[in-house]
Chains A and B, each alone.
Chain A
Amino acid sequence: MKLLEIFQSGKFAVTSEVGPPKGVDIEEMLNDAELLRGKVDALNVTDQQSSVMRLGSLAVCHLLKMRGLEPVFQITCRDRNRIALQSDLLNAYVLGIENVLCLTGDYISLGDHPGAKPVFDLDSVSLLHAASELQQGRDLAGQKLKGSPSFCLGAVVTPGANPIEPQIMKMEKKVKAGAQFFQTQAVYDPKRFEEFMSQVKHLNVPVMVGIVLLKSAGMARFMNKNVAGVHVPESLIEEMDQAESKAQKSIEIAARLINEMKDLCQGVHIMPIGWEKKVPAVLEAAGLVEIRD
C-alpha cells in the first residue's frame, strides 16, 4: 500500500526504521520489524546508512514485503550512477515495493570505506525527477519504457537547518520534481518546528516529523555538537541527566514530543538508532496504537 493513501484518508501516518545488518544474519532485524507489525504504516529500510557497507536496502525491502510488512525503500545517489539508480527503481517496482524515499546520501569519507569513489551522479532532486519520468513511461534519456512503474515518492528535509531558506528552496524543488511526502531530520523543539511548518504551508505536502530516541544526556550533547540541524534544548538534556531510568525517560520524552507536534504535521517517523525494541512502547505512550485499531 502506498503511504499516500494514508495521508489522503486523513489518518496520522506512523513510520519507523529498520537498519540492515553488516553481514547476512538477518534474524534480529526481522524480529525487530515483527515487533512493529500492525503498529506502523510502513518501515523505512536504510541504504547503507552513514556510508557503512552492509546488506542492501532493496533485498531487505523485498524480505519485509514477503512477510506482509510495508517497506519504504531508501535510495541514495552515493553509490550508483543514473543508469543503476533508474534500474534499481524498476527493480523495486517489480518486487512490489511502492514507497521510495529519495536521498542524496552521506558522503563516502564519513563511512567505513573512506577511500571508495564517490558517485553522486544525480542529486536528490534529479533522482526524484528521474523517478517521476519513469512513472511517465520514459527514462532520463527520454527513451520509452515497456511498462511504467508507479511509486509514492518521498524526500527529506532538515527543519532545524541554519539558514533555513536554502533548505526550503530545495524542498520546493523536490515537490516540483515529484516528492509526495517528506520525512524530517530529528526535531526536539516544537516551537521551531511550528515556525518551519508555517514557512512550508504553501507547498501543501504531507510532512512526517522525525523523532530520534534520546539514549542519554551525553548523546544529546553529542548531537548538538556534531549533527547538522539537530538541537536538543537544555531542558531535555537536564531531564535525561536526572532520570533514573534513561529508557523510561526517553520513551516519555519521545511520546511528549509526538503529542506536541501531532497537530502541526501529517505523520511521525521514529528513528530508533539501535533501540528498535522500544518503539512499540513509544507508540503506546503517545497514544498512537489505539488510533490504529
Chain B
Amino acid sequence: MTIDDVLEKAFQNRAFSKTFFVVERKAKEWLFDCQSCGNCVLSHTGFICPMRCPKGQRNGPCGGAMDGRCEVDKNKRCVWDEIWESTVRLNRVDLLTGNYEEPPDWRLYGTSAWENMVEGRLESPSIFETLFRKDKPLAREAPLVFSQILRNWYNRIASPSWHRYEGRPPL
C-alpha cells in the first residue's frame, strides 16, 4: 500500500478530512496567506501563494509591477517578485518555466488541496510530484525549503516596510 492509498482511505472518513482541512487551512493561512483555492501550486511557486496577487496570476507577472511593488497597492511587494526571488533561492526556477498552470477549478474553492490531490480532483498532482516523486524531489532539500518558507513569512510580516529588508529605496 502506498502513501496515496492510505490517505485516500483516510480522507473518506469525514472526521479525519474535516480535521485535516482545518489544520491545513490554518497552517497555510498563517504561513502563506493561503486563500484556500483548493488548487494549490505552492510547491511550484517557491512556496509563495500566487492567489495573493490581485489578478490571481498563476503563470507569471503581469508587467504592472514597478521596482518590485504591486501596481494595485504600492505598499505591497509584487507577488511574482517574491516568487521569483524564492524560487531562485531554492534553485528550482525550472518549476516555474516548465509548468503551464491550468486556470483554477472554482468548484474546489474553500476545500483542502491535499484532499483534492489525493482524491484525483486536480489535473496535476503538483504537491506530491514536486515534493516527493520527481527526479529532483524538493523534500530532499527540506532544511532549505523550511528556512525559505520562514524567510518568506518574515519578509511578508515586515511588509509594508519590506523594502528595508531588501535594500530597496523607500516609497
Contacts and interface: CB of A to CB of B under 8 A. Distances in A.
A173 B71 contact: no
A123 B59 contact: yes
B66 A173 contact: no
Interface stretch (B21-29, B50-58, B129-137, B140-148): B50-58
Interface string A107-127: 101100000001011111110
A229 B56 contact: no
Given A177-B100, A228-B65, A228-B66, A166 B84 contact: yes
Contacts of A109: 54, 72
A250 B80 CA distance: 35
B125 interface: no
A82 interface: yes
B63 A158 contact: yes
A162 B63 contact: no
B63 to A, nearest CB: 4
B103 interface: yes
Contact of A176 (B84, B93, B100, B106): B100
B64 interface: yes
Interface string B78-98: 001101100000000100110
Nearest to B84: A166
A153 B83 CA distance: 28
Contacts of B57: 104, 120, 123
Interface residues of A, number: 37
Interface residues of B, number: 29
A125 B72 contact: no
A170 B60 contact: yes
The B interface, classified by DSSP as helix, strand, loop or mixed, is loop
Interface string A135-175: 00000100000000000000011100111011101101100
B55 A104 contact: yes
A120 B59 CA distance: 12
6 contacts: A105-B55, A109-B72, A120-B55, A126-B100, A165-B84, A166-B83
A175 B37 CA distance: 27
B59 A185 contact: no
B103 to A, nearest CB: 5
A162 B67 contact: yes
B103 A123 contact: yes
Contact of B55 (A107, A156, A229): A107
Interface of A: 82, 104-107, 109-110, 118, 120-126, 129, 140, 156-158, 161-163, 165-167, 169-170, 172-173, 176-177, 185, 226-229
Contact of A228 (B64, B96, B102): B64
B97 A169 contact: yes
Contacts of B83: 166
Given A123-B59, A126-B102, A167-B60, 13 more contacts: A104-B55, A104-B57, A120-B56, A121-B103, A123-B58, A124-B59, A125-B60, A125-B101, A126-B100, A162-B68, A169-B97, A170-B60, A228-B64
B84 A125 contact: no
B54 A122 contact: no
B62 interface: yes
Contacts of B63: 156-158, 161, 167, 185, 228-229
A184 B68 CA distance: 20
Nearest to B99: A173
B71 A118 contact: no
B60 A110 contact: no
A122 B84 contact: no
Contacts of B101: 125-126
A92 B56 CA distance: 26
A107 B59 contact: no
A110 B58 contact: no
A82 to B, nearest CB: 7
